[in-house]
Structure 1
Amino acid sequence: MLPDGYALRPMTLDDADPLAAAYLRNREHLRPAPVRPEAFYTVEGQREAVRDRLRQVELGLFDCWLLWHGPEVVGTATLQNIVRGAMYGADVGYWIDRAHLRRGLAVASLERLVQRARDLGLHRLGGSTNVTNLASQQVLRRCGFVECGRIPAFLYLDGQWRDSIMFNLVLHDDPPPG
């Protein structure tokens, strides 16, 4: 459950301005990060990114949520790479604004993603963290995810390939629908 004063809402095209401000404000906090053009940190860059993401939502490949505190975006929570068929799963992604850490927001956001995945009938969720991101590993464990191992050179962040720790959460053992 989110603390008072916070809300998790689906992403809309109108969110580009506060999302750009959040990414700019947290640029260093979110390192290591994918190499991004400077335009990513602008309102126009976020409009383009949000449009792209919302197209993926329409296709059923993503489920995107923004964490709000008053008029500010202070985090994101996503189900990404949603796959149906034999796997019926997705990967989770989330981050919290540096000024709003240690309030239970990451755990509450991830719990909401797990519930959303259940609502979508997904079978499993995966998560990965940079090897050095112990806080995020703790969040995943608190939400029932189990560490599966380390993948060498998994993500290209800040100009180099970095290892990741992989996590998995099985939501149910029922067969896929239909």
Structure 2
Amino acid sequence: MFEPVELDGGVVVRLLADGDGPALAAAYTRNREHLAPWEPARTADFFTAAWHERDVAGALTRLEAGTLIPLVIEAGGGDDSGEIVGRLNLSDLVRGVFQNANLGYWVDGRLNGRGLATTAVGIALHHARAAGLHRVQAGTLVHNLASQRVLERNGFERIGLTRRYLRIAGEWQDHVLFARLLED
């Protein structure tokens, strides 16, 4: 159901797989400074292969349970062959009358501005539809205009502002919330 999708330049969006822990640790370490303003404060342990191996195992368990669709963006050409350069998650899948998931994503700082996040989010929405979801929601920091553009290019609509929504970079920060109805 979740076949890898190849983009221009040999970049692939695929399901997270057993064994991705070391590559994820390397990607997060390489992007530590780039991601710090947009993510929760991280402990030193977070940047280890062991931490990510445990996280991958948990994510794959949640995939099997139907509560998470974990995706990675992998560079597949030249010197970057097999290098993880981003992550997307459709998390907290709720079934029943809601049929909703939360979307989170990031792309390697070296690749920003190339449309990769926009394309990868579109692929994540395809997977959400294939999973039978009705709606996907996402939140961005108020000042993260680039991420807001990615969502808008994928048909997300701004649904509001929520105060002190998530603890990002060590502080409770306001977020702009977006939603996309998948039948539209």
TM-score class, shorter: over 0.9
In structure 1, the partner of 2:45 is: 39
Establish whether residue 29 from structure 1 lines up as the match of residue 40 from structure 2: no
Q: Which blocks of at least 5 consecutive residues in structure 2 are unaligned? A: 1-5, 76-80
SS at match of 1:54: helix
Find the partner of 1:59 among 48, 53, 65.
Answer: 65
Find the partner of 1:94 among 95, 105, 111.
Answer: 105
SS at match of 1:93: strand
Aligned-pair CA distance for 1:36: 2.3
Q: Would you identify which runs of 4 or more consecutive aligned residues in structure 1 move more than 6 Å?
A: none
Identity of aligned residues (%): 38
- 1: CA distance, partners of 2:92 / 2:135: 12
Q: Which blocks of at least 5 consecutive residues in structure 1 are unaligned? A: 174-178
Report the number of matched residues.
173
- 1: CA distance, partners of 2:127 / 2:14: 12
Q: Deviations over 1:138-168 (max 9, x none)?
A: 0000000000111000001122100000001
- 1: CA distance, partners of 2:53 / 2:162: 33
TM norm structure 2: 0.90
Aligned-pair CA distance for 1:31: 2.2
In structure 1, the partner of 2:20 is: 15
What is the letter of the counterpart of residue 135 of structure 2?
R
For the aligned residue pairs, the C-alpha RMSD in angstroms reads 1.2
- 1: CA distance, partners of 2:68 / 2:167: 21
TM norm structure 1: 0.93
Find the partner of 1:144 among 155, 158, 162.
Answer: 155
SS at match of 1:46: helix
Establish whether residue 115 from structure 1 lines up as the match of residue 126 from structure 2: yes
SS at match of 1:132: coil
